[in-house]
Copies of this chain bind each other. A is one copy, B any other.
Amino acid sequence: MSSVPNVGALVFDVFGTVVDWRTSVTRQAAEVAKARGVAGDWARFADDWRAGYRGGMEKVTKGEWPWMKVDAIHRRRLEEILPKYGLGDLGEAERSEFNKAWHRLDPWPDSVEGLTRLKKRYIIGTLSNGNVSLLTNMAKHAGLPWDCILSAELAGHFKRDIRAYQKAVELLDLPAEQVMLVAAHMSDLKGAQKAGLSTALVIRPDEYGPDGAPDLESDGTIDVVASDFVDLAAKMGA
């Protein structure tokens, strides 16, 4: 049995790692559409919305767009795709409420149990590109027992910019290697490694649905690989 890494805090990627954004957004989109009698492929809608999140962050990172909260990136994409899915006549209040679908994502079945165990031994916090208010509202919605809400918003730079990880380390006031990033995405973990953090990969095979290409294995440089958060808690001695 391998030894438990010497860390004081675990910070978590959130979208896909802690919560199942695709199922949650698909369901909420279907509800909005049903109320208006509009038919469509709402999983595809969720994927389409999500693609705008990645693209929007890239534009911010390249300086093509000014810094903005992920809420604002989500809203820009929503404006683009609503007409394509027959929902172009939603009013401002409805759009604003729909955009908060990302504040109401449901956790994977093991997330709350694993976090609750980890919290007894470690500081646990978010380290998401999601803005602070999004993450705070999501925690209340999903019952996520965070000790603190950390976000790329506090650095003014999105992951995988090294400054997003460095800001979290600075705020936690621990040596970088005593802060562990937990994520389902190898690119995020590689970013954290550049900033000196410890790393844990949690496998989330269903994040992107049946046609997705999730990260299913480590490249051999990740400190802990876990099948879910309960497995992570066990491997972290919590």
Contacts and interface: CB of A to CB of B under 8 A. Distances in A.
A180 to B, nearest CB: 15
Contacts of A171: 131-133, 153
Contacts of A135: 148
Contacts of A153: 171
Main secondary structure of the interface of A (DSSP, over half): helix
Nearest to A120: B140
Given A148-B148, A148-B149, A149-B149, A172 B132 contact: yes
B154 A147 contact: no
A7 interface: no
B172 A148 contact: no
Interface string A170-183: 01111000000000
Contacts of A137: 123
23 contacts: A69-B173, A71-B173, A123-B136, A123-B137, A123-B140, A125-B136, A131-B171, A131-B173, A132-B148, A132-B171, A132-B172, A132-B173, A133-B171, A133-B172, A133-B174, A136-B147, A136-B148, A140-B147, A147-B149, A148-B148, A148-B149, A153-B171, A154-B154
